[in-house]
Amino acid sequence: MTHPKVEAPPDTRSALLQAALACFAEHGFDGTSMRMIAQRAQRPLSLLSHYFGHKEGLYREVFAWMLAAPWRKPSAPSMPPTGYVPRDRSEALRMLREQIHGIYMEVMSKSNSQDPLVEYSSALFLREMRSPRPSLHPLLVAHMAPRSETLRNCIHMLRTDLKEAEVIFLGSAIIGQVVGQGLMRGINQVVWKTAESARNDFQAAEMLVDLCLFGLLGEQQPRA
């Protein structure tokens, strides 16, 4: 099998993490062995135990390293761990719009990237989306909580009639809609080839804002 070329990292730990990312993305957790990773990294097997202990620990470290995205700049400024709380409906609409744009642009930047590390990270995320391993839960919560909490706070402000479970469902549905649209870009171009597409990613994100707001507020939706 031909592997995408990844430039040599400056240190052994990064070499092992890059090799582990590639192997886990291609073969999954169960299909990857520590020996396979060491061979891919062209490093002694003993170094994996030295740096990471065991395969579960290495898997967790790969995700922590991947979420920190050391090979590219972050796509958005950091947020408070508990997200933002809007002061009124107008601010809730603005924040909701910003979050949809941020999620979509982040997904599209990955789907448009030619960097094999980004491709591997996207593939590994897809493997974990259905049923993340328990060891990853704290990492995923810390990574996603600021954005998901902001969405929840905005929906609470805009739909005071909803129960907490309904708010959470709608918040996760918005994230799923926006992420799914970005991830399915290639399939959509095949299936909908005769349809006119949005001119650019910003316009596409605006259309997703309209779609999500219609679902939340109905036809008479206000605009920020």
Q: Could you give the CA distance from residue 197 to residue 61 in angstroms, rounded to a whole number?
A: 39
pLDDT at 8: 45
pLDDT at 1: 47
pLDDT at 194: 56
Structure-token pair, residue 15: 């070499």
List, in order of start, the domains of the chain with CATH numbers: 12-68 (1.10.10.60), 89-217 (no CATH)
pLDDT tens by residue, the chain, 224 residues: 455 544 445 588 889 999 999 999 999 999 999 999 999 999 999 999 989 999 999 999 999 998 886 555 444 556 787 889 999 999 999 999 999 999 998 888 776 667 888 889 888 988 888 889 999 999 999 888 999 999 999 999 999 999 999 999 999 999 999 988 877 877 777 777 755 566 688 998 999 999 999 989 985 445 54
pLDDT at 4: 55
If one counts every other C-beta atom within 10 angstroms of the C-beta of residue 21, the result is 24
Helices (H), 28-163: 34-41, 45-52, 55-68, 89-111, 116-129, 137-158
pTM of the complete model? 0.78
pLDDT at 9: 52
Compute the 3-state secondary structure of the chain and give helix, strand, coil in percent, each to the nearest 5: 70, 0, 30
